[in-house]
Structure 1
Amino acid sequence: MKTNQVIEVALKAGEILLTGGAEIYRVEDTVIRICKSYNVEAECFVLPTGIFITVMDSEGNPISIVRRIRKRTVNLEKVEKINSFSRSLQNNPLSYREAMTGINSIMGLEGYSYALKLLVAGITPFVYALLFKGTAKEACASFLIGIVIYAIKEKITRAGVFEFFEYFISGLAAGILSVLTIKLYPLADLYRIIIASIIILLPGLAITNAIKDALYGDIVSSMFRLTEAVFVAAAVGVGVALALTIGLRWI
């Protein structure tokens, strides 16, 4: 396989990992591992917003490639499959066509169905409402609110609006729906419903990866992820606060 083809395979694999929610050290390790599988020495530097790769071609000339990453989601299935794929190349290096076919098939994975995601988005608040010692009615309300705010967030995501606006609107919707629940059922605990409902919006993976990046010495990436998590939490909080400020006046 030619050097530029090796870089393309490694870069594509790294992109899938980074957009799927993988840690920085995992992305760098995978890129270097794929290059070594084809006897290509590489240096890789990864940030949450970009991948930088430099290799030496057969004539000793450096080749550098940069891939800008603009959107990051959570898809741990793709992360696991790319992780396994990169390790399999060490024992069985594939041709360029075979390697790209395998990577493209992983990239094309659709994941779970939308209906199942909605169901899980409702079950999670439902369980947390009970965990917070809520009543069955509060848990059911959290279940419905979780489904609604997930559907709203997905529609905004598909519309291409910037990320923090998604969380602001989702937090606003959670607050409004929780206030409406209290209006219909005054005995319910407003704050318990809100807390349970917004659980699905909290950036748990970002915080976990930030800590892991810090432990592996990737301080810049760690600070980036922590800052991103703070902004996401702030966007959700502002949305909820706005809904409560308006809604509590007429309860």
Structure 2
Amino acid sequence: MKINQVMEIAVKAGKILLTNGSEIYRVEDTIGRICRCYGVDAECFVLPTGIFITVIGKDGEPLSFVKRINDRTVDLSCIEKVNSFSRGLQENIMSYEDAIRILDSIEKEKGYRFGLRLIVAGITALVYTLLFKGTVQDSIAAFFIGMLIYFANEKISRAGIFRFFEYFASGLIAASVSIIAVKLFPVLNIYRIIISSIIMMLPGVAITNALKDALHGDIVSSQFGIAEAIFIVVALSAGVAIILSFGLRWI
């Protein structure tokens, strides 16, 4: 197999991992593992926004491949499938066509249907409301607000608006709809509803990955992850604070 084809397989696998919430050290390990399976010695450097890989060609000249990463989400099933793919290569070397076909099928998987994810978002808000000792009425309100936030977040994401606006808008929606709900039903607790409805937006995976990267020595990637998590929290908080600063007087 040609060296550039090996690089393409490795980078494609790394891209799937990175765009689906994998840790940096896992991406680098997978890229190196795939290259070694094909007898290619590669050096790779991965950041949350890009993959850089260099190998030495047969003529002694270095060959480099750079892949820019723009979108990131969390899908652990994709990560598991790419891990299985890379480890399976150690026992059964695939052709370029077969490897790309498998990676394409993993990348194109749509995951769970939007309707199911919407309901799960509402259930998450409902459960957290009860966990925070809210009433049944609070949890029902949080259920619908959580679904509304997830729906709006999905539409904003598909519209291509910059990422942190999604979280800012989520904070705006959570606070404004909660104020309306409390105005209509004074028995509700606005703070429990807001906290429970936005908790699913908090960057728990990003913080965990940043800490794991730091433990593996990837300090730059760790700092990036922590900074991203801070920006997300600030965006959410700003959206909630702006609405509450003006809306609480109407309750």
Q: TM-score band (shorter)? A: over 0.9
Does residue 9 of the first structure (1) align with residue 6 of the second (2)?
no
Aligned to 2:124: 124
Deviation digits for residues 196-218 of structure 1, max 9, x if unmatched? Answer: 01111101110010100001000
Q: Which residue of 2 aligns with 1:196?
A: 196
The superposition leaves residues 110-149 of structure 1 with CA deviations (integer Å, 9 ceiling, x where unpaired) of 0000011001100001000000111000000000000000
State the one-letter code of the partner of 1:176.
S
| 1:75, distance to aligned residue in structure 2 (A) | 1.2
Structure 2 portions without partners, runs of 5+: none
Which whole-Å CA distance do the structure 2 matches of 1:145 and 1:108 have between them?
A: 30
State the match for 2:166 in structure 1. Answer: 166
Tell me the residue number matched to 1:23: 23
Give the corresponding residue for 2:139.
139
Distance 2:73 2:246 in 1: 32
**Residue aligning to 2:157:** 157
Q: Distance in 2 between matches of 1:134 and 1:165?
A: 29
TM-score w.r.t. structure 2 length? 0.99
Stretches of 4+ moved more than 4 A in 1?
none
The count of residues paired between Structure 1 and Structure 2 equals 251
**Alignment partners' CA distance in 1, 2:238 and 2:85:** 42
For 2:89, the aligned partner's letter is L
- The 2-side partners of 1:216 and 1:177 are apart by 43
What's the offset of the Cα at 1:242? 0.9
Cα shift at 1:7: 0.2
Listed as ranges, the matches of 1:98-117 within 5 Å are 98-117=98-117
Whole-angstrom CA distance in 2 between matches of 1:240 and 1:157: 19
In structure 2, give the amino acid aligned to 1:214.
Answer: A
Compute the displacement of 1:188 (Å). 1.4
Counterpart of 1:38? 38
Letter of the structure 1 residue corresponding to residue 124 of structure 2: T
Task: Report how far residue 109 of structure 1 moved.
Answer: 0.5
Query: Which segment drifts farther, 18-27 or 184-193?
Result: 184-193
Output the CA distance in 1 between the equivalents of 2:160 and 2:246: 28
Question: Structure 1 residue 243: deviation in Å?
Answer: 1.2
How many angstroms apart in 1 are the aligned matches of 2:192 and 2:107? 39
1:233 aligns to what? 233
